[in-house]
């Protein structure tokens, strides 16, 4: 569904990604793990058309190279950006409405309202807060709203950038559980995480990104056992390694 | 009691001028919200509004036609200005864009001088010149037109930003441009729209004030600076702030003119601006951080 071939991305003249090749199949949950500044956010922004890039990038058979972000959203690819990036002074209802911004011209109000109901089923708490300012909600609720806003564009592929950032573990688990539910409803998911443990638990496959390159890939269950991954990203005790040898 | 009659009179003329400043200030605020730049060509839109209306009225003496025609024309000027002067800039830092708007203002003023020359033109008042007596003071019908149309414009703007999808998209862009692009809002389109909207507001202000002052090619500079001051005094980017800033500025000027001397009129405006910048830089209403 998403094919990335030899993709490089730049901030000004600084190369933040070099030759990334990966893919996401329809119906999968794929996770991309890596430390701070490994290039995870850059990769997502390159996919969404926010940063300059070269290489090959195709979604559902169509090349995304040179397309503006607003066009890419229309193709069925939505991002939940790092740090939620809500329209903080606006209400929950307005945030959700703007999520469907590109659909109002083409689709019926009923179709959009049906998706609104879907979002409420996923995150019932949002329904009670429709008139509240988005910026005044708790971190977990803001993350729910950010995901809900992205879903309002009715994406076929959902990109999530560090949804666990700054949230209590119990909230993270709740939100990641929703991702499996979304997959069951037919949404393909690419999850970018620093919190490798939770990401690998929910994902089918995983890629490990380090200083702008993919250094490892495989089934999520295998990577959970991989020595290199466990040491670098799961923070398991070093002793455990040396003794397990 | 002796001072009451002139006081009321000053208030009326102050509020009228203030309403004009408010319309111009809103133009500054809308563009600031969309781009974080100050569009110093805003005052020239006011001048163009006045002179275009006068020219159209000269050809076809119908005030509604002159009003609508001038607003449409100046809106197009605003859109073209954004498209030709600002959008092609390779490295659009705010300071570069602001300097371009200053240059644009000089250019527009120069072209206006070539078209209309240096003399001042009059536009007849919208409905006669018979003063209405209001207790000890009098009020001209044109003052009521200014206040009424400003009030309607402000309410319409508020409704546009609160209730329509495009208005909400413009606000979303102001709050978080990256997130707005990620939900599919074409940020460039919103910037262009903000220039069109601001030009329309400026043109409206120019047409409203033309019967009271006269239209001349260099009227825009001072009005633009006053509108800018009003926007800063009220709080840049805030709708309520722009209106409040405009009215406060207008009334302060009128009081200074009446009680001290008309020579201090402009000084009062900029003194007020400096005071606000020193004491409350976010403006009376606060606005964005």
- Interface contact A90-B168, CB threshold 8 A: yes
> What pTM, to 2 d.p., does this model score?
0.89
The pLDDT value recorded for residue A242 is 53
Q: Enumerate chain A positions whose Cβ falls within 8 A of a Cβ in B.
A: 48, 50, 68-70, 73-74, 78-79, 81, 85-90, 94, 97-99, 101-102, 104, 149-150, 152-153
The pLDDT value recorded for residue B262 is 85
The pLDDT value recorded for residue B3 is 62
Q: Tell me what percent of the residues of chain A surpass a pLDDT of 90.
A: 76
Give B203-252 pLDDT, tens digit per residue.
Answer: 999 999 999 999 999 999 999 999 999 999 999 989 999 999 999 999 99
- Interface contact A101-B181, CB threshold 8 A: no
The pLDDT value recorded for residue A244 is 47
Give A61-115 pLDDT, tens digit per residue.
Answer: 999 999 999 999 999 999 999 999 999 999 999 999 999 999 998 899 999 999 9
Q: Can you tell me the mean pLDDT for A123-140?
A: 94
Give A145-172 pLDDT, tens digit per residue.
Answer: 999 999 999 999 999 999 998 899 999 9
For chains A and B, count residue pairs whose Cβ atoms are closer than 8 Å: 68
A111: number of Cβ within 10 Å: 13
The pLDDT value recorded for residue A80 is 96
- A144: pLDDT strictly greater than 50: yes
Q: Which residues of B touch A98 (CB under 8 A)?
A: 165, 168-169, 172, 180, 183, 185
| Beta pairing, strands A213-219 & A205-210 | antiparallel
Q: What is the CATH number of domain A1-76+156-165+188-245?
A: 3.40.50.300
CA distance B186 to A46: 17
Give the one of A69, A89, A101 whose C-beta lies nearest to B165's C-beta. Answer: A101
Give the one of B171, B178, B182 whose C-beta lies nearest to A90's C-beta. Answer: B171
Give the one of A68, A89, A99 whose C-beta lies nearest to B183's C-beta. Answer: A99
**β partners of residue A22:** A4
DSSP secondary structure, B151-176, as one string: HHHHHHHHHHHHHSHHHHHHHHHHH-
Give the one of A85, A89, A153 whose C-beta lies nearest to B184's C-beta. Answer: A153
CA distance A241 to B56: 85
B58: number of Cβ within 10 Å: 11
- Interface contact B165-A153, CB threshold 8 A: no
Q: Which residues of B touch A94 (CB under 8 A)?
A: 168, 172
- B91 phi/psi in degrees, rounded to 5: -120, 80
Half-sphere exposure at residue A161, Cβ-oriented, CA atoms within 13 angstroms? 24
Tell me the shortest Cα–Cα distance from A208 to chain B, in angstroms: 25
Cα nearest neighbour of A95 on chain B: B172
- Interface contact A89-B175, CB threshold 8 A: yes
Mark B68-94 as b/e (b = at least 16 C-beta within 10 Å): ebbbebbbebbbebbeebbeeeeeeee
CB A186, CB A193: distance < 8 Å: no
Q: Tell me what percent of the residues of chain B surpass a pLDDT of 90.
A: 83
Q: Which residues of B touch A44 (CB under 8 A)?
A: none
Q: Sorting pLDDT into bands at 50, 70 and 90, what band is A245? A: very low
Q: Which residues of A touch B181 (CB under 8 A)?
A: 50, 68-70
Q: Can you tell me the mean pLDDT for B60-73?
A: 96
Mutation target vs A (from B182, B190, B289; most A CBs, 10 A cutoff): B182
Q: Enumerate chain B positions whose Cβ falls within 8 A of a Cβ in A.
A: 165, 168-169, 171-172, 175-176, 178-186
Give B172-188 pLDDT, tens digit per residue.
Answer: 999 999 999 999 999 99
- B85 phi/psi in degrees, rounded to 5: -100, -30
Give the one of B178, B183, B186 whose C-beta lies nearest to A98's C-beta. Answer: B183
Give the one of B165, B171, B172 whose C-beta lies nearest to A104's C-beta. Answer: B165
Q: What is the ipTM of this complex?
A: 0.89
The H or E element containing residue A157 is strand A157-161
Q: Which residues of A touch B192 (CB under 8 A)?
A: none
Domain coordinates in residue numbering, chain A:
1-76+156-165+188-245, 84-154
- Interface contact A70-B169, CB threshold 8 A: no
Give the one of B165, B181, B184 whose C-beta lies nearest to A50's C-beta. Answer: B181
Q: Which residues of A touch B184 (CB under 8 A)?
A: 69-70, 73-74, 101-102, 153
3-state DSSP call for residue B280? coil
CA distance B66 to B76: 15
- Selected residue with higher pLDDT from B263 and A132: A132
DSSP B83: I
CB B215, CB B123: distance < 8 Å: yes
Distance of CA B176 to the CA centre of its chain: 25
Domain coordinates in residue numbering, chain B:
26-217, 220-289
């Amino acid at each position: 569904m998403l094919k990335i071939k030899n993709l490089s991305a730049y901030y000004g003249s600084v190369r933040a990604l070099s030759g990334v090749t990966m893919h996401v199949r329809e119906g999968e949950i794929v996770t991309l793990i890596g430390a701070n500044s490994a290039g995870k956010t850059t990769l997502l922004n390159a996919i969404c058309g926010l940063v300059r890039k070269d290489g090959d990038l195709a979604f559902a058979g169509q090349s995304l190279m040179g397309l503006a972000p607003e066009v890419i959203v229309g193709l069925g690819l939505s991002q939940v950006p790092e740090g939620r990036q809500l329209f903080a002074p606006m209400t929950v209802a307005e945030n959700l409405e703007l999520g469907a911004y590109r659909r109002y011209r083409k689709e019926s109000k009923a179709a959009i309202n049906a998706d609104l109901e879907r979002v409420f089923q996923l995150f019932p708490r949002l329904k009670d807060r429709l008139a509240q300012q988005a910026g005044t909600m708790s971190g977990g609720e803001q993350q729910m709203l950010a995901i809900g806003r992205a879903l309002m564009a009715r994406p076929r592929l959902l990109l999530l950038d560090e949804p666990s950032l700054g949230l209590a573990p119990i909230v993270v688990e709740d939100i990641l559980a929703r991702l499996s539910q979304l997959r069951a409803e037919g949404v393909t998911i690419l999850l970018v995480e620093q919190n490798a443990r939770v990401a690998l638990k929910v994902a089918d496959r995983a890629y490990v990104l380090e200083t702008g390159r993919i250094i490892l890939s495989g089934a999520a269950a295998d990577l959970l056992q991989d020595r290199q991954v466990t040491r670098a990203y799961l923070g398991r005790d070093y002793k455990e390694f040396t003794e397990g040898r | 009691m002796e001072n009451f009659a002139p006081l009321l009179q000053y208030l009326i003329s102050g509020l009228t001028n203030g309403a004009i400043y408010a319309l111009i200030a809103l133009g500054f605020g809308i563009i600031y919200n969309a781009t974080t730049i100050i569009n110093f060509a805003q005052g020239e839109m006011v001048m163009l509004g006045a002179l275009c209306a006068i020219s159209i009225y000269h050809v076809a003496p119908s005030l509604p036609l002159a009003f609508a025609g001038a607003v449409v024309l100046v809106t197009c000027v605003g859109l073209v200005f954004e498209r030709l002067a600002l959008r092609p800039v390779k490295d659009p830092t705010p300071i570069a864009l602001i300097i371009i708007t200053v240059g644009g203002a000089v250019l527009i003023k120069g072209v206006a001088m070539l078209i209309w020359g240096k003399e001042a033109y009059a536009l007849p008042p919208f409905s006669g010149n018979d003063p209405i007596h209001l207790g000890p003071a009098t009020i001209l019908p044109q003052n009521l037109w200014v206040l009424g149309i400003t009030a309607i414009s402000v309410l319409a703007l508020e409704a546009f930003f609160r209730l329509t999808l495009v208005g909400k998209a413009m606000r979303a862009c102001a709050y978080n441009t990256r997130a707005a692009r990620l939900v599919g809002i074409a940020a460039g389109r919103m910037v262009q729209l903000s220039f069109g909207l601001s030009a329309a507001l400026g043109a409206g202000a120019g047409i409203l004030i033309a019967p009271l002052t006269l239209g001349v090619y260099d009227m825009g500079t001072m009005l633009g600076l006053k509108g800018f001051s009003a926007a800063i005094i009220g709080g840049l980017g805030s709708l309520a702030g722009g209106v409040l800033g405009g009215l406060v500025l207008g009334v302060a000027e009128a009081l200074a003119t009446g009680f001290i001397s008309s020579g201090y009129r402009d000084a009062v405006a900029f003194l007020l601006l400096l005071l606000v910048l020193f004491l409350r830089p976010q403006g009376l209403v606060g606005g964005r951080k």
